[in-house]
Amino acid sequence: MIRVIARLDIKGPNLIKGLQFDGHRVLGTAEEFAEIYYREGADELIYQDAVASLYRRNSLLDIVRRTAEKIFIPLTVAGGIRSVEDVRRLLRAGADKVAINTAAVENPRLLTDAARIFGSQCIVSSIEAYRRDDGACRVWVDYGREATDLDAVEWAKRVEQAGVGEILLTSIREDGMGRGYDLELTRAVSSAVSIPVIACGGAGRAADFPAPVAAGAAAVAAASVFHYRYARPKAGLATMQFAGKALRMGVHIDAGNIDFLNEGYGGMKFLMVEPCSISAAKAELRRKGLGVRGPHGNP
């Protein structure tokens, strides 16, 4: 079965989204979107602390605890995980898996130790890859802020040898752009390893989801194409509403509107994204003869 995963990048309590890991806008609260995605039939969720690596700590423990009480699909948590004890705390808080990038590049032994203690099924290698103009794909760390000399495909082979259970492969250059997944990168990494690869970064419409699976991915993750579908403006106001109630402005929400989609974002007049529901993404996969699950794990 192909998994359809909603990715939620988080800063403080807020769900944020940007372009190519930059220029983030607040869309609402992470927990409320997580509940929406659970109800709508997402197979898994990914929580990414967008500032954790920068500050060398993950601050999602409380959000993870509250989320685990309300949703009953696998939850992967990423960002700022620097030790075995960090992994332990997140798993105890309710995470099913943790994804590690920056600390693994600095100390690959962390992946081996974590996989040995908690099991490979709990440990994900997050690979943030940037395709240069010459075609080379390099690993970036610190949530897409710092480049390394590591080749993304070679690094994927190394993390598999280290014992991780799967790879979360994100194309920085395609992130938020709506042009489709980086299929060349997906194909290269998927063919180089035997563990599952989650393709992430670039989905712009429901029709984009089957292609990375054909390129070898075992799962597809997306953010903006889902976020912009489920973020609904309240009539006459710039705020958004969920279940008929507008989000509050102030202590928890410092933005929470989607006017930027029409007025311009990151120097672009508009984004080439056609928001779709999770069920629409699954329908496209089924149309291509690919097996997907219904809501909450039902076939």
CATH number, domain containing residue 83:
3.20.20.70
For the segment 127-166, what is each residue's pLDDT rounded down to a tens digit?
999 999 898 999 999 888 899 999 999 999 999 999 999 9
* Contact in structure between 154 and 113 (CB atoms under 8 Å): no
What are the CA-CA distances from residue 202 to residues 60, 124, 150, 178 (Å)? Answer: 25, 20, 22, 5
Q: Is 120 left (phi over 0), alpha (psi -120 to 50) or beta?
A: alpha
User: In terms of Cα–Cα distance, which of 150, 8, 156 is closest to 79?
Assistant: 8
pLDDT of residue 176: 84
pLDDT of residue 214: 98
Give 20's DSSP letter. T
pLDDT of residue 260: 54
Active site residue 146: no
In tens digits, the chain (299 residues) has pLDDT values of: 999 999 999 988 888 887 877 767 778 788 989 999 999 999 999 999 987 755 556 678 999 999 999 999 999 999 999 999 999 999 999 999 999 999 999 999 999 999 999 999 999 999 999 999 898 999 999 888 899 999 999 999 999 999 999 999 999 999 888 899 999 999 999 999 999 999 999 999 999 999 999 999 999 999 989 988 887 554 444 445 444 444 433 333 334 455 555 554 444 555 667 889 999 999 999 999 999 988 655 66
Candidate list 9, 31, 142, 174, residue with the active-site label: 9
Tell whether the torsion through CA atoms of 168, 114, 107 and 158 is positive or negative.
Answer: negative
Name residue, tokens 């974590």: 114
pLDDT of residue 249: 36
Q: What is the Cα–Cα distance from 53 to 66, expressed in whole angstroms?
A: 22
Beta strand 146-151 with 166-171: parallel, antiparallel or unpaired?
A: unpaired
pTM of the model: 0.89
User: In terms of Cα–Cα distance, which of 201, 52, 227 is closest to 128?
Assistant: 201
pLDDT of residue 37: 95
What's the number of domains the chain is made of?
1
User: In terms of Cα–Cα distance, which of 181, 288, 281, 291 is closest to 226?
Assistant: 281
What are the CA-CA distances from residue 146 to residues 149, 164, 173, 175, 220 (Å)? Answer: 10, 23, 14, 16, 25
User: In terms of Cα–Cα distance, which of 149, 142, 192, 130 is closest to 167?
Assistant: 192
3-state secondary structure of 127: strand
Length of the chain in residues, anyone?
Answer: 299
pLDDT of residue 243: 41
* Contact in structure between 137 and 131 (CB atoms under 8 Å): yes
Active site residue 85: no
pLDDT of residue 207: 97
User: In terms of Cα–Cα distance, which of 118, 120, 86 is closest to 102?
Assistant: 86
pLDDT of residue 273: 79
Q: What is the Cα–Cα distance from 259 to 198, expressed in whole angstroms?
A: 31
pLDDT of residue 237: 47
pLDDT of residue 244: 42
Query: Which domain covers residue 104, as residue numbers?
Result: 3-297
For the segment 53-74, what is each residue's pLDDT rounded down to a tens digit?
555 566 789 999 999 999 999 9
pLDDT of residue 151: 98
Q: What is the Cα–Cα distance from 127 to 189, expressed in whole angstroms?
A: 10
Candidate list 31, 32, 44, 128, residue with the active-site label: 128
**CB atoms < 10 A from the CB of 264, how many?**
12
Q: What tokens appear for 84 in the block?
A: 């075995």
